[in-house]
Amino acid sequence: MSRAFRHILFPLIAPLLFFIVASIPVAAIGCRNRGLLAVFVALSSLIASLVAASLALKGRLGGDPHSRWWIVSSLILAIPAVALLILA
């Protein structure tokens, strides 16, 4: 697996899943269920973003030249949490 797949395309699953849940009509799964799914996706993505940020910081302090990939992953994984704040 290439670094681009692991650090860009794989983390893009969380924002895509969040926006799919947000675009589902209320009549399909109900307002409460839709909101709970969106909060679950955003919270799990935020936790993964914090883990990626800590790995980036650990790598940056250790002198790892590839730690910027973790920063990119962290920013991508933070998108659902930011979108939840904006949409709510």
| 4-22 pLDDT per residue, tens | 888 899 999 999 999 999 9
Going by C-beta distance under 8 Å and a sequence separation of 6 or more, which residues neighbour residue 73?
Answer: 7, 8, 11, 49, 52, 56
**d(Cα 63, Cα 45) in Å, to the nearest integer?**
26
> pLDDT (tens digit, 9 = 90+) per residue, 23-69?
999 899 999 999 999 999 999 999 999 999 999 999 999 988 888 99
Going by C-alpha positions, the residue among 56, 73, 74 that lies closest to residue 65 is 56
Range of the domain at 72: 3-87
pLDDT of residue 1: 74
Q: How many domains does the chain have?
A: 1
What is the pTM assigned to this prediction? 0.89
